[in-house]
Amino acid sequence: MYTVRVRDHVMIAHSFKGEVFGPAQRLHGATFVIDVEFRRDELDENGIVVDIGRAHDVLKATLARINYRNLDELPEFAGRNTTTEVIARWVFEAMRAAVADGSLGPGADALRSIKVEIGESHVAWAGYEGAIG
């Protein structure tokens, strides 16, 4: 399996509902480091998994929608705790949509899977991985 990984980061604010979250129930900020890994069985005719430049541009555009925002105020997260896991799935869905609409370039439709990992601190991270197609 061949892989390509791109990385970016966002700064957000949010709060959680539920006793399990303790003090994180109050509004707080976070800086997330977000890695997206694209996987495929064979390289394309250019010898690549996916166009790294396009992949980074799509990730940056996706994250611009939440960067420096209070996630509690965004309609796409209404009524949900914006845990690191939830954000990872949201990024995955945006990347999967980019494969479908051609934003990642020709040949991206041969990707097998995408894995998103989000570092919420230097000691903790969460992620989501799913198949394409």
| Statement: residue 83 has pLDDT above 80 | yes
Residues 13, 5: Cα–Cα separation, whole Å: 26
**What pLDDT score was predicted for residue 70?**
98
| Statement: residue 96 has pLDDT above 80 | yes
**What pLDDT score was predicted for residue 44?**
95
CA 74 to chain centroid, in Å, comes to 16
**Domains, in order of start, for the chain:** 2-131 (3.30.479.10)
pTM, whole model, 2 decimals? 0.96
